Every structure is written in structure tokens, then in C-alpha cells.
């Protein structure tokens, strides 16, 4: 029962019960104070139950330090302190104060949660998103459209992103753009069959043929030319490649290409995802849209056909836009401007033009003309058709220097269409069709001129198809009946059948 203590100190329980004063105790071995049993070796200092130091080896030993405030350490380097219910810890790379943590070192954890994210060994995950240490960000339900119907989204560590839909408020800038079989590079768009390289980088082989992995070899054939464009320090590098073999039945698909033999004009390294665009095999083709700002002959849209197996065996079948690049080709003039060039044009609607040429005819605002002959619209033009010796007015009247007009015989049944009352004592001969008959310049009378009631009257006047100042016309009247009179006299029966 060895111990050292104040006489009146009764132990911690008695002190906490208020039956003993402040005190201290050192003991060695067992001791009993106020029905408390102490065993082992210990140290006990007491003020109150909230402020004391206690150490014992009983039942394995414990250390119980209690204080309303404490401070351990050096203020300028590291310390642990507490007061007023708060604790502060500080070291060279760590500071905990007021519930905030300031660190300059590393945090390592492979489990737990932080800010709603679950910590795993290689990723942070939330309700439907995974942030992987490999560099991939994706939704938990992501499924690539290459495997069927796409779902979710993913940004891969290889820089490839897949989304259901993207909306860009500013500028979309890219060296290569591809939508199914539409590829755009440097202001130029080619609509044709296309694919991309897959796997590792494709280096220039230094040999004639090279087999590469592609995303899809479907639709490609032997003898087909492909074009590839890649950025370089001096701009774009373009290379044409000839397909010599296609394998679309195994995974991955492969295409064997005959590369450009000149390494200085070849693409030295094609990264995974390099676009390869068809420029057709013989008999096929592509659509080419060019808006390259460095090309003075743009913009335009070309329909191109490959006509042979050589690299240059292509022909522009149609072009819409700036035709200056075709100046001098076939019917295209030296300065054509903008328009449509094609071998054939079939239209079901309206053609409107006020200038130009068609079939050697000059197009004016209201007429077509060539070599002294013209066809003109009504209005400011006197004639519908005119030349040096022939004219047709817009009302259908014709004048010609040597023109064989139709021949009309006037008899009992049609006389009403060629005779009319001139309002006096005579009858007019109608040549211009205004009486319902034919327009003619040649008339044979088999009946004498008469009124509608049958009364024979002398010929008073002749109504011709064309009457105008300076226009001379020749009309033929064959009188084949007796009794025909003119207001100037009578033609005898013996004179019947003569031309007047």
C-alpha cells in the first residue's frame, strides 16, 4: 500500500463527488482510498473532474489528461492548441483552424467520400459520372454508338469525345471535320465515302504499299483513290493514296494503300483518327465544295467523275459558283463570273436571263438576236421576228421581199368573210382576216363582190394585212367572174381571168 499523497486527499471519485479537496497522489502498488482500489504504479494530480492529469497501469494502463485549454508546441513552427471549444493544429504544410484545412502536401486515399463523390482506388464516382485517373470522364451509363444505339457521353484520354448532341455558342474550329461521309478540311468539303485510321500512329513506310487499320473499310474497292490531309508547320500536307486491297470482314478492318513515293510530299505521321476520303474509282466520283479564301477562283461546288485509273483521270461534270477556274474550257468564256457549268441542263420551271448567249444567240433584255436576225418581245420592239428582208409583227402580220402567201378562192359559201360594206355604195375586199376568213395576199373572185343581202356592188377598197408608212406590199386579185365593177369602172367579161 505504498503511496504518497496529501493527508486529506481522498482520491478522484471522492474529489469529483465534492467530498475531498484538491490534491495529488503518487502511488506504487495497490492502495485503497475512500473505498477506491488503486493497483499498479501511477500518478494522479487533481483540481476538478474537468482539469487534472491522471496516469495508471491498472488493466493495461491509461492516460487521462483534462483541461479547459491547452497548448503544446512552438508558435512559429508547429503546435497543437485548444480553448473555448475549438482546436487548432499547425505544421509546416498543414494548418487546421476554425474547421478549415489549409494544406501544401499530398492527400492519399483509396476509399471514402468527398463532396458527394465516392473515392475509389483509380476514380472518383458520383450518381452518374466517373472521373477516372486514366484521363477519362464519362457517365456511368455510357454506351458508344459504334456498338449500337449510343447512350450517355464520354471524353476519352485519347482526346476522342462522344456526345448525343453538342451546341456551340462561339466558333467551331477544327483541322478536319467529318459527318458520316462528309469531310471538311481548310475551307474545303468533300462528300464521298470516308473512314478513319485506328490504333497506333501510322508512319510513312518508305515502301510502296502499307496496310493500315481503319474504323470501317465498307464501300472501298481496289483501284480507288483516297485523299488525306494533315496539318504541318507550313500548313496542310495533302497525299493521294491508291487502294490495292480491302479487308472489311475481320476486326479490325484494314486497307492496303500504295503511298506517295516522294516522302517530301507525303504525310510523315498519321495519328489515330486521321480521315481518309474517297476520290473514287473509275466510273464513280464525288462532290467537292471549295471556299478556300486563299484561292481566287472560289467559291464553287463541283460534281467530279473519275474517268480512269490514273491519279489525274478526273473530269468536272458540273460546277456551280465562280466559273473563273473554268475559263476557256469548252463554251465557258474568258470572264464568265458566277454561274452554272454542265454538260446538260434539264429544267421543269422558268429560265430568266437578260444577258448572255444561248446556241449562238445573244440574249438581250427583251429579245434574242444573231447575225442580223432577231426575235423580240412586244413593247418597245416593232417586230416579233425581223431580218433584212422579212418581218413579222406582234399581231401576226407578215411582210417579205419574196413571199408566196396562201391562195384563197372566194365563192358563194365564203364570200361573207372576204366582202364587206364600206359604208357607202361599194364593197371592200378583205385580205387581213378581219372578216373571219384567211389572212392572204392572193385572192381569186369566183363571185362578184356583193353586200350581205346579195346586192352586187363595185369594189371600193382593199383591206391589206399590213398598212404602215414606208411598207410596200403586193396583193394579187384574180377575177374569174363577169360583172365585177370598181368604183373607177367595169371589167368586161372578156377580161375575166386576168390578174389585176
pLDDT tens digit string along 226-250? 988 876 655 677 888 999 999 988 8
Read off the pLDDT of residues 168-219 as tens digits, 9 standing for 90 and up: 888 776 656 665 555 556 677 888 888 888 888 888 887 778 899 998 888 8
Q: How many domains does the chain have?
A: 6
Whether 128 and 118 have beta carbons less than 8 Å apart is answered as no
- Which pLDDT score, from 0 to 100, does residue 234 have? 58
Give the separation between CA 38 and CA 30, rounded to whole angstroms.
5
Inter-CA distances, 163 with 138, 160, 196, 331, 374, Å = 10, 10, 18, 49, 64
Both 273 and 189 in one domain: the answer is: yes
- Which pLDDT score, from 0 to 100, does residue 306 have? 92
- Which pLDDT score, from 0 to 100, does residue 394 have? 76
77 within a domain of the structure (yes/no): yes
Both 420 and 440 in one domain: the answer is: yes
Both 203 and 187 in one domain: the answer is: yes
pLDDT below 70 — which residues of the chain? 1-52, 54-62, 145-149, 173-186, 231-235, 395-397, 399-405, 466-472, 488-500
Cell, residue 22 = 484538491
355 within a domain of the structure (yes/no): no
Strands 235-247 and 188-191: unpaired
Q: What is the CATH number of the domain that holds 277?
A: 2.40.30
Both 413 and 440 in one domain: the answer is: yes
Cell, residue 132 = 477516372
- Which pLDDT score, from 0 to 100, does residue 47 have? 63
- Which pLDDT score, from 0 to 100, does residue 491 have? 47
- Expressed as residue numbers, the domain containing 396 is 368-400
- Which pLDDT score, from 0 to 100, does residue 412 have? 92
Both 131 and 200 in one domain: the answer is: no
Phi, psi of 60 (to 5 degrees): 105, -10
Which of 37, 66, 95 is the endpoint of a domain? 66
Amino acid at each position: 500500500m505504498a503511496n504518497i499523497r496529501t493527508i486529506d486527499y481522498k482520491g478522484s471519485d471522492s474529489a469529483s463527488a465534492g467530498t475531498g479537496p484538491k490534491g495529488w497522489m503518487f502511488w506504487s502498488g495497490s492502495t485503497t482510498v475512500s473505498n477506491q482500489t488503486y493497483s499498479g504504479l501511477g500518478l494522479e494530480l487533481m483540481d476538478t473532474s474537468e482539469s487534472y492529469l491522471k496516469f495508471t497501469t491498472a488493466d493495461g494502463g491509461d492516460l487521462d489528461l483534462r483541461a479547459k485549454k491547452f497548448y503544446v508546441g512552438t508558435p512559429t513552427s508547429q503546435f497543437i492548441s485548444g480553448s473555448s471549444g475549438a482546436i487548432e493544429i499547425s505544421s509546416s504544410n498543414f494548418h487546421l483552424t476554425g474547421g478549415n484545412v489549409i494544406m501544401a502536401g499530398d492527400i492519399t486515399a483509396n476509399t471514402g467520400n468527398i463532396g458527394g463523390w465516392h473515392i475509389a482506388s483509380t476514380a472518383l464516382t458520383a450518381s452518374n459520372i466517373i472521373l477516372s485517373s486514366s484521363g477519362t470522364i464519362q457517365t456511368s451509363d455510357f454506351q458508344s454508338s459504334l456498338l449500337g444505339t449510343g447512350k450517355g457521353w464520354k471524353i476519352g484520354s485519347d482526346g476522342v469525345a462522344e456526345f448525343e448532341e453538342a451546341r456551340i455558342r462561339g466558333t467551331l474550329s477544327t483541322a478536319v471535320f467529318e459527318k458520316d461521309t462528309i469531310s471538311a478540311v481548310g475551307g474545303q468539303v468533300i462528300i464521298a465515302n470516308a473512314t478513319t485510321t485506328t490504333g497506333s500512329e501510322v508512319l510513312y513506310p518508305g515502301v510502296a504499299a502499307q496496310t493500315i487499320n481503319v474504323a470501317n473499310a465498307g464501300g472501298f474497292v481496289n483501284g480507288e483513290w483516297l485523299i488525306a490531309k494533315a496539318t504541318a508547320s507550313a500548313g496542310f500536307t495533302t497525299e493521294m493514296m491508291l487502294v490495292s486491297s480491302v479487308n472489311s470482314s475481320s476486326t479490325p478492318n484494314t486497307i492496303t494503300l500504295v503511298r506517295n513515293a516522294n516522302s517530301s510530299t507525303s504525310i510523315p505521321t498519321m495519328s489515330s483518327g486521321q480521315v481518309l476520303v474517297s476520290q473514287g474509282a473509275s466510273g464513280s466520283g464525288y462532290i467537292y465544295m471549295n471556299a478556300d479564301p486563299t484561292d481566287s477562283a472560289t467559291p464553287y461546288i463541283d460534281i467530279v467523275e473519275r474517268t480512269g485509273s490514273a491519279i489525274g483521270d478526273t473530269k468536272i461534270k458540273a460546277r456551280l459558283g465562280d466559273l473563273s477556274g473554268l475559263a476557256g474550257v469548252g463554251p465557258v468564256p474568258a470572264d464568265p463570273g458566277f454561274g452554272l457549268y454542265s454538260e446538260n441542263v434539264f429544267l421543269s420551271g422558268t429560265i430568266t436571263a437578260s444577258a448572255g448567249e444561248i446556241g449562238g444567240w445573244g440574249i438581250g433584255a427583251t429579245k434574242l438576236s444573231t447575225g442580223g436576225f432577231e426575235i423580240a418581245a412586244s413593247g418597245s420592239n416593232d417586230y416579233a421576228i425581223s431580218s433584212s428582208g422579212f418581218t413579222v409583227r406582234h399581231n401576226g402580220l407578215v411582210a417579205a421581199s419574196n413571199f408566196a402567201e396562201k391562195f384563197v378562192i372566194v365563192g358563194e359559201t365564203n364570200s361573207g368573210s372576204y366582202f364587206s360594206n364600206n359604208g357607202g355604195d361599194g364593197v371592200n375586199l378583205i385580205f387581213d382576216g378581219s372578216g373571219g376568213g384567211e389572212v392572204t395576199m392572193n385572192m381569186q373572185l369566183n363571185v362578184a363582190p356583193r353586200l350581205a343581202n346579195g346586192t352586187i356592188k363595185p369594189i371600193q377598197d382593199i383591206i391589206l394585212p399590213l398598212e404602215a408608212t414606208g411598207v410596200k406590199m403586193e396583193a394579187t386579185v384574180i377575177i374569174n367572174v363577169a360583172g365585177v365593177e370598181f368604183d373607177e369602172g367595169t371589167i368586161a367579161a372578156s377580161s375575166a381571168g386576168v390578174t389585176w
